[in-house]
Amino acid sequence: MSWFGLWHGGSGYSYSDASHMERFRSLADVADALKSRFHGANWRQEFDYVARDPERVFTPGVDETSYIDLYRSADADLSCIERRAYFGPRGGVRFE
């Protein structure tokens, strides 16, 4: 099942709007993306945007407050977050 998400990189990043909506193939892909963006400041991260071409960019300054808000459709009401992926107290990715 595909998920759609808006990523927030933490205290060094502004909040995303609908133009930054990304597509993820599974919750496992969401967790991998969150971990990779946190640990991967030295290599390009892939963003599979819904409304524009994919990009590969660096993600410096991502901190442990980073999270991805998730929705079941790309045109969901952004005020109705269905799930959130975030870092737990020991560094693993949790979903609520």
Question: pLDDT > 70: what percent of the chain?
Answer: 99
Q: How far, in Å, CA of 66 to CA of 81, rounded?
A: 16
The residue with greater pLDDT, 23 or 43, is 23
**2 pLDDT tier (thresholds 50, 70, 90):** very high
Q: How far, in Å, CA of 25 to CA of 37, rounded?
A: 17
pLDDT at position 29 over 80: yes
Q: What is the pLDDT of residue 41?
A: 67
Reading the block at residue 65, the tokens are 């407050």
Helix (H, G, I), strand (E, B) or coil at 38: helix
pLDDT at position 22 over 90: yes
Phi then psi for 64, rounded to 5 degrees? -70, -5
Q: Domain residue spans in the chain?
A: 3-95
pLDDT (tens digit, 9 = 90+) per residue, 41-50? 678 999 999 9
Bridge partner list, 45: 57
Length, in residues, of the chain: 96
How many helices, marked H, and strands, marked E, lie in the chain?
1, 7
Spacing of C-alpha 85 from chain mean position = 8
